[in-house]
Amino acid sequence: MSLMNFMIKRRFWSIVFPCLLLASACAWNDAAVTPVQASVFQDDPKEFETHIQKYLALQKKAIGTVPSIPKENADAALIAKHEKQVADAIRAARPNAKQGEIFTPGVRRSITMAIKHTLEGKEGAAAKATILGEGNPKSDGLSPPVNVEVNAPYPISAPFSTVPPSMLMALPPLPKELEFRFVGRNLILRDTKANMIVDVLPEAF
């Protein structure tokens, strides 16, 4: 091999090899993504986000119609009153809201798949025990009942179920105004500003 050919080939691999390494790393990252993450919202990746953004716009408008409270205020009664006022304004803005408006069939299918995958195996058993254990108002038998219906308030004295980190990683991220919680085996989408159930996915696992 001539010196010129050697230098050309050396130059070629000095450029190509890092690219191959990068491609390999990307492939590894893709492979590291769980089947759940890859399949969530496969029908329409933007469907869930679109419904969430639509609800947030409605929530923001509703909040603007009620008297605000100082951020530093720690009066539980005043906070509860404000939450109810916000909830009432939201209900007035979506009086005909029904189950499945955000958890549409495609979204429901993907989320139940994600939950099922997360609860498989030994680690999944631990996650399931966490969800159904102390803190789930449908499981401890001591907490006030939660009316798992759209637009229903979440009882102030009812505990919130613990959602394991593995489950939160499998489910789509939410803005701070909303959160996932379990009531028994039902997954609810809760409005944290109005302490209200926005949507329900019954028998999620």
Tens of pLDDT, residues 71-96: 777 788 899 999 999 999 999 999 99
State both tokens at 67.
């008297």
pLDDT, tens digit, 9 for 90 and up, residues 170-183: 999 999 999 999 99
pLDDT at 70: 82
> In a structure prediction context, what are the per-residue pLDDT tens digits for the chain, which is 205 residues long?
444 443 444 443 444 333 433 333 333 333 333 444 444 555 566 899 999 999 999 999 999 999 988 877 778 889 999 999 999 999 999 999 999 999 999 999 999 999 999 999 988 999 999 999 989 998 777 778 899 999 999 999 999 999 999 999 999 999 999 999 999 999 999 999 999 999 999 999 9
Angle of CA points 107, 108, 114, to nearest 5°? 90
- Count Cβ atoms below 10 Å from residue 31 Cβ, excluding itself: 7
**Is 63 buried (19+), middle (13-18) or exposed (0-12) by CB count in 10 A?**
middle
The CB-based long-range contact list for 80-84 (8 Å cut-off, 24+ gap) reads 80/156, 80/195, 83/193, 83/194, 83/195, 83/196, 84/153, 84/194, 84/195
